[in-house]
Amino acid sequence: MFLTQLLPAAAATCSYAALAAPAAAPQLTLTPLADRLTLICGGGGNVVVFNAPEGVLLVDGGSPEQSARVLSAVRALSGQKGVHTLFNTHWHWDQTGSNKTLGAAGTQIIAHENTRLWLSTDADVKWQKRVYPRLPPQARPTKTIYTTDTLAFGGEQIDYGYLPQAHTDGDLFVYFRKANVLVGSDVLSAGRYPIIDYSTGGWIGGLAEATHQLLQLGNEQTQYIPGTGTVLSRTDVQAEREMLVTVQQRLPKLLAQGMSAPDMVAAAPLRDQEAQWGDPTQFITNAWPGLVARARELGVSIV
């Protein structure tokens, strides 16, 4: 039912079918990343599966709506092994949709402490005009960190750590050192602007610093895994970093002129970026509150 012939890691694009899906649901695809390491796309957010002798380790679990299909694919990949550990790269539901099922089964769930806090409250995401209800206690992370840590599992060294106030205020990277696969989740994007969830602590400066941190961790051969879509190269991440630095230089100058978010959008400060990154309206709109908050912290007067 799933792929029997694996493409080389360099050709991994998350673009070929691996598991049949109902017509109404997105198709799940499997991309081999390295020995025992697979990327599942199409189940909400990307899911990375590490199939070790002692059990399965997952980075993210897809959306609540797609969790059953994702976990079925995981069982097919692993020969019905149980899930030993689940990483939540941040609190968003596209990444934490399997927490209820796996938490109830006793799976260790690792996240940043801020992710646990957001999953323990009703999260009001103003830019989406939506309130996400808290998860039940058994679905929340059972181990949290503030900085960095390392997990030895299945013969792999898995380093993980905080990417401060980037996409949210609880982002984690997860780095499979031996396989040289680095999960940056929704901090990373290609061909479109990343989302800044300012309602839960994300801001443009944190995103720029996070991409720099991910580049420092990896090398030319690293496979970078975004929150959705295809595997990224170092060149892709460098391009995102350069774009974010450009934005970080331009938008504060407009804020200093007293511009609101709609004023900034109308000023079209990113027109030269649109061919590569698309319409910046949502990106600028979500960047504005974080810029205002930092200006106030520095005592800068905003007209």
DSSP symbols for the chain? ---SSPPPGGG--S-S--B---TTSPPBEEEEEETTEEEEESSSS-EEEEEETTEEEEE----TTTHHHHHHHHHHHHTS--EEEEE-SSS-HHHHTTHHHHHHTT-EEEEEHHHHHHHTS-EEEGGGTEEEPPPPGGGS-SEEESSEEEEEETTEEEEEEEETTSSSSSEEEEEETTTTEEEEETT--SSSPPP--GGGT--HHHHHHHHHHHHHH--TTPEEEESSSS-B-HHHHHHHHHHHHHHHHHHHHHHHTT--HHHHHHH-TTGGGHHHH---HHHHHHHHHHHHHHHHHTT----
Looking at residue 166, its pLDDT comes to 97
CATH of 11-246, one of 3.30.70.380, 2.60.40.420, 3.40.50.12280, 3.60.15.10: 3.60.15.10
Residue-wise pLDDT for 50-63, tens only, equals 999 999 999 999 99
Q: What is the mean pLDDT of residues 156-182?
A: 98
Q: How confident is the model at residue 295 (pLDDT cuts 50, 70, 90)?
A: confident
Looking at residue 99, its pLDDT comes to 98
Residue-wise pLDDT for 60-119, tens only, equals 999 999 999 999 999 999 998 999 999 999 999 999 999 999 999 999 999 999 999 999
The domain locations on the chain are 11-246
Looking at residue 301, its pLDDT comes to 60
Residue-wise pLDDT for 267-293, tens only, equals 999 999 999 999 999 999 999 999 999
Q: What is the mean pLDDT of residues 173-202?
A: 96
pTM (2 decimals)?
A: 0.91
Residue-wise pLDDT for 224-250, tens only, equals 999 999 999 999 999 999 999 999 999
Average pLDDT, the chain: 91
